[in-house]
Amino acid sequence: MPVQTTTYEGGAARNLSESQVVALARACAFGVPVGFIVGMAKRESGWTENQIDTDYDSDGNARENKTYGLLMVSRPEALGALSLASIDTDALLDPATNIKVLCTITARHRTVLAAAASNQYTEEDMLRYLCWAHNAGVGDPLPGIRQHGLDWQAALDRNPAGGYVRGRLARYTDEVIEYVRRYPEMGGGSDDTFGRVLLLLVAGWFGYSHFFGVRA
C-alpha cells in the first residue's frame, strides 16, 4: 500500500535519538517492555516525532485516517484509547501521548489475542503478534490463532515465503524484538499518564517531550 510521509505543517523533521526515545518509554510506557516501544517507534517513524503518514489504496485514493507521531497512531485510535471527544494534532503528536495511546491499544489487543489462544505461548510470541495486530488490525491474526495457537514459528511455517507474514511483518517483528532484548525492563508509566500530560498542555504546552528536552 503506497504511503505519503510528511511532517506537521511542513516543518523540518524532528528526529529523536535512541536515548531520548528510551527515556520517554521508561517514563510513559506501561504493560510492555521499553524496547517494544523503542523498536516500534523505529519501524513506524524512524523516531520522528512530527511525522504524519497518509495511506493510499490500490486505486490511488487516500484513506480517510492519517497516522501520526512516533508510533503512527490514528486520530480515531487516540480518541478511543483516551476516551476523548476530540484531540488536536499537537497533542496527538506529543511523544508521551503517542506512547500512551499505543500502550492502551496494545493492552486491549493483548486481551483479545490471549482469549483466542488455547496453547501456552511465550511473551516473545505475544509481542510479535501485538506487532501484527498494530499493523494489520487485531482481527487479522485471530483465525490462525484459533486454529493453530498463538505460535510465531508455526505462523512462519504455514505462510508462504515472500508473503506478508514471512516478509515485511517478520522483518518488523525481528527489529522490535531486537530492541526488546536490548531494553527488556517494563515501562514505568500508568493509565493516568495522559491526564498529567494534558494538564501540562493546557497550562502552556510544556508536555512530556519538553520536560525530557527532546524538542529543539
Strand partners, 68: 52, 73
In the chain the domains, ranked by start, together with CATH numbers, are: 3-211 (1.10.530.10)
Residue 201 has pLDDT above 60, yes or no: no
**What pLDDT does 200 receive?**
43
What tens digit of pLDDT does each residue of 30-78 get?
999 999 999 999 999 999 999 998 766 665 665 667 899 999 999 999 9
- Is 90's pLDDT higher than 80? yes
Tens digits of per-residue pLDDT, 137-163?
999 999 999 999 999 999 999 999 989
- Collapsed DSSP state (helix, strand, coil) of residue 56: strand
Q: Residue 159 and residue 155: Cα distance in Å, rounded?
A: 6
Q: Is the dihedral of CA 44, 16, 94, 54 positive or negative?
A: negative
What pTM was estimated for this model as a whole?
0.85
